[in-house]
Structure 1
Amino acid sequence: MTFTTSYETKADPLDASFTAVAAVVPDPEIAALRSDIDKLSARLTRPALSSALTGTKADPARAAFTDRYLRKGLDAGAPELKSLSIGVPGDGGVAVPNEIDTVIDDTLKTISPIRGIASVVQVGSANYRKLIAVGGVASGWAGEVAARPSTGTPNFVEVVPPMGELYANPSASQAMLDDAMFDVETWLASEISTEFARAESVAFVTGSGVAQPKGYLSYPATAADDTTRPFATLQYLPTGVAGNFAATNPQDRIIDLVHALRPPYRQGAVFVMNSTTLARVRKMKDNTGAFIWQPSLSAEQPATLLGYPVIDAEAMPDIAADSLSIAFGNFKAGYLITERNTTGLLRDPYSNKPYVQFYASRRVGGAVINSEAIKLLKFAAA
């Protein structure tokens, strides 16, 4: 005699519960209960990607930009990300999402020292114009019933900061972009911001003004004071020795530089020089033997020279004959930076195979808007 044994294994432990209640619960209610349990099971077993479980909302525009455009070169699928070039109407690009653009802006402020102390204006067109009142509005005194004659009318000067297109062209292999562990956003933001900051730091100091900002050292400079010096001409103080400080009391000329700046501009004024010049200045002492340099006592409090912060800008020239190696002034009032508020980005997988090049660009300009707010120390005899 042959015996046959039958075994039944449930595919899901939850199914066993339905067998027990099938006799007492009507079929429609069982179906609804099974649907609710299936939904709950799916939520508990899959990765937590939705805002319901993580408490955060994924940005579809950013995800499309990174995963589709940066990694694969596909259309990002978001029409609002498209931006047109100013110079060539038919040339299109993709605007960098705000998250990456914010990283670039923050890094530029950190690495590009002049950007951190100057006035920055976001513009929406190719050019920016600013009116400056030269001399201010005249006024007068009068008695209670005396006549009030007309006062002088101020003169206005139009300042147009020269602008140019700042660009960077980093490359990455397609294999790197295909690797999910490669953080393409962080890498791209770092590459772009580093190159932009390097170029900016030079242009804001010594830029020619031709397809780039005009640096403050590119403006004419004279020893004439504020009352006789023409507009857009900076004042310098000579050290008395060509290519050097005076042999005795060299710190006196730095003190003179501070007081050449009128009191309204000293609030918020800073020194600007490179590391080589700063090393010499830090060794100077006053007549009592105390250093004129005061180191920082905390991270929030910068080191000071004669009570004013010092900005280390490597674009400033080394000390040499007739060099303008130290600047002192209120750059918020004296120098203006203009820029478009987005960074354009183009992906090029063809020009340098097997690498993918990312062409990033933004329009940046700069100009002196108040020549009375910035003073220079010239290492010259006169």
Structure 2
Amino acid sequence: MPVELKDIELVASEIKGQFDEFKAKNDKRFDAIESEKGALAGQVETLNGKLSDLDEYKTALEKELAGLKRPGATGVSKEVEAHKQAFTQFMRKGREEGLRELEQKALNTTVDADGGFAVPEELDRTIIELMRNDSPMRQVCNSITVSTSDYKKLVNLGGAGSGWVGEDDARPATGTPTLAQVIASMGEIYANPQATQTSLDDMFFNVEAWLNNEVSMEFAEKEGSAFLLGDGTNKPKGILAHTLALTADAVRAFGSIQNIKSGTAGNFDGDDLLSLIYGLKKGYRNGSQFMMAGTTLHKVRTLKDAQGAYLWAPGLQAGQPSSLLGYAIAENDDMPVVAADANALMFGNFMRAYTIVDRIGTRILRDPYTNKPNVGFYTTKRVGGMLTDSNAVKVLTLSV
């Protein structure tokens, strides 16, 4: 049954009811006598979990509704369609006749004769889209596609001179701006999903959908962690793998990220969240959001300001996400959990802070021999990441 706007409104109404009950129980828990606290704490945790489930369900319904409204792709060339049909035959039967030539025409590029076959453009884009849906980092960070194996970017650090002059005064030459080169840390990610030849022979078995789901799940899990925590060795260098420093933007070295300490080992409060927000320059705040693990979000929902108002607010309209102090929240379970010295929360404009670099083309090598009677599809893709603006994100470290 197609998703309708009224379905989202019903879920939003249920979220409001659950949040009102959650607040009542949580408030009572603080005021309760010791004998009641245990029972109330359990009820609060149950309601908190229900809020998480409902919030995720509302977001999923909104994505499904947006997909139904999105117009279908048009204008697929004959070469791309022929490439897609030939590739499907390669997947099902291992037939390679003419696939190299069709691949070159469809992609308009040269190919490595020993590197497997390039996934058709339409299927490759679907894999990227599925990874975006599964990966919190792809949802919030900038993403580009390149045709080379490496990528470099020049960043202007400022320093160009300027000044005031009279109408008839000479214009002296301005200073040269300071430029820095940022290089994407690249790596090759692979997956090897297996299918039986019997299933591949079944005309009702959707081999494209199967490959999309199998590969995107594997890729999203591995690369999502790398974009956040990767050390840069044969993989992207993640945001939290960069140097953290307590110094402000004006004096901190380019490429290092400012972290703010909570003042309490393994804990934080609403004032720490405000320090994160206002530690970021005003120009970056538009489009900024929090990032944290689900267990941290669980804790955040119980926080109040000095007037007793909750800092977390549910999104009660279609298209309106839940918010923390007025900013959206990206839930990412690759983030460190609440613990002493953990970098448990980030706040920033991730589109400006970090860029994901995809090399065009996912490649597949069909292997019917290694794991008989299964057929393996050794799938590879080159991907990287780069910190493009270290001033656009702040990290909260739970330490003294």
Normalised-by-shorter TM-score class: 0.7 to 0.9
Residue number in structure 2 paired with 1:8: none
**Under a length normalisation based on structure 1, what TM-score does the superposition of the two structures give?**
0.79
Once residues 211 and 76 of structure 1 are traced to their aligned partners in structure 2, the CA distance between those partners, rounded to angstroms, is 34
| Conserved 8 A contact 2:155-2:182 | yes
> 1:199 is matched by which residue type in structure 2?
K
Of 184, 195, 207 in structure 2, the residue corresponding to residue 172 of structure 1 is 195
Q: How does 1:222-241 map to 2 (within 5 A)?
A: 222-241=245-264
> 2:183 is matched by which residue type in structure 1?
V
Q: Deviations over 1:172-192 (max 9, x none)?
A: 011111111211111111000
Once residues 291 and 278 of structure 1 are traced to their aligned partners in structure 2, the CA distance between those partners, rounded to angstroms, is 13
> 2:346 is matched by which residue type in structure 1?
A
Of 45, 57, 61 in structure 1, the residue corresponding to residue 83 of structure 2 is 61
The root-mean-square deviation of aligned C-alpha atoms, in Å, is: 2.1
Once residues 98 and 125 of structure 2 are traced to their aligned partners in structure 1, the CA distance between those partners, rounded to angstroms, is 22
Once residues 142 and 189 of structure 2 are traced to their aligned partners in structure 1, the CA distance between those partners, rounded to angstroms, is 19
Once residues 114 and 312 of structure 1 are traced to their aligned partners in structure 2, the CA distance between those partners, rounded to angstroms, is 10
| Conserved 8 A contact 1:213-1:365 | yes
Q: Deviations over 1:222-275 (max 9, x none)?
A: 110001100101001100011112xxxx20110111011001111111111110
Residue number in structure 1 paired with 2:331: 312
Residue number in structure 1 paired with 2:102: 80
Matched, 1:335 2:354: yes
Counterpart of 1:144 in 2: which secondary structure?
Answer: coil
How far has the Cα of 1:72 moved from its partner?
0.6
Matched, 1:70 2:91: yes
* Shift in CA distance, 94/256, structure 1 to aligned 2, threshold 3 Å: same
> 1:143 is matched by which residue type in structure 2?
G
Residue number in structure 1 paired with 2:186: 163
Once residues 311 and 354 of structure 2 are traced to their aligned partners in structure 1, the CA distance between those partners, rounded to angstroms, is 27
Once residues 232 and 256 of structure 1 are traced to their aligned partners in structure 2, the CA distance between those partners, rounded to angstroms, is 21
Matched-pair identity in %: 44
Q: How does 1:28-39 map to 2 (within 5 A)?
A: none
* Shift in CA distance, 89/179, structure 1 to aligned 2, threshold 3 Å: closer
Residue number in structure 1 paired with 2:219: 196
| Conserved 8 A contact 2:227-2:385 | yes
Once residues 91 and 196 of structure 1 are traced to their aligned partners in structure 2, the CA distance between those partners, rounded to angstroms, is 23
Counterpart of 1:244 in 2: which secondary structure?
Answer: coil
Matched, 1:120 2:139: no
| Conserved 8 A contact 1:65-1:76 | no
How far has the Cα of 1:57 moved from its partner?
10
Counterpart of 1:92 in 2: which secondary structure?
Answer: coil
Counterpart of 2:164 in 1: which secondary structure?
Answer: coil
Task: Indicate the structure (1 or 2) with the bigger Cα radius of gyration.
Answer: 1
Q: Deviations over 1:107-164 (max 9, x none)?
A: 1111111112111111111110101111353322233344444433221111111100
* Shift in CA distance, 277/301, structure 1 to aligned 2, threshold 3 Å: same
How far has the Cα of 1:99 moved from its partner?
2.8
**Under a length normalisation based on structure 2, what TM-score does the superposition of the two structures give?**
0.76
Once residues 274 and 397 of structure 2 are traced to their aligned partners in structure 1, the CA distance between those partners, rounded to angstroms, is 14
* Shift in CA distance, 261/209, structure 1 to aligned 2, threshold 3 Å: same
> 1:368 is matched by which residue type in structure 2?
L
Report which of the two has the higher share of helix. 2
Once residues 337 and 279 of structure 2 are traced to their aligned partners in structure 1, the CA distance between those partners, rounded to angstroms, is 22
Q: Deviations over 1:82-103 (max 9, x none)?
A: 699x9x9552321112332222
Counterpart of 2:228 in 1: which secondary structure?
Answer: helix
How far has the Cα of 1:308 moved from its partner?
1.1
Residue number in structure 2 paired with 1:53: none
> 1:65 is matched by which residue type in structure 2?
F
* Shift in CA distance, 295/136, structure 1 to aligned 2, threshold 3 Å: farther
Ranges of 4+ aligned residues in structure 1 off by more than 6 Å: none
| Conserved 8 A contact 2:159-2:175 | no
Q: Report the more deviating stretch, 208-217 or 179-188.
A: 179-188
Matched, 1:293 2:293: no
Of 359, 362, 378 in structure 1, the residue corresponding to residue 381 of structure 2 is 362
> 2:164 is matched by which residue type in structure 1?
W
| Conserved 8 A contact 2:292-2:346 | yes
Matched, 1:374 2:393: yes
* Shift in CA distance, 137/302, structure 1 to aligned 2, threshold 3 Å: farther
| Conserved 8 A contact 1:169-1:358 | yes
| Conserved 8 A contact 2:82-2:102 | no
Residue number in structure 2 paired with 1:324: 343
> 2:308 is matched by which residue type in structure 1?
G
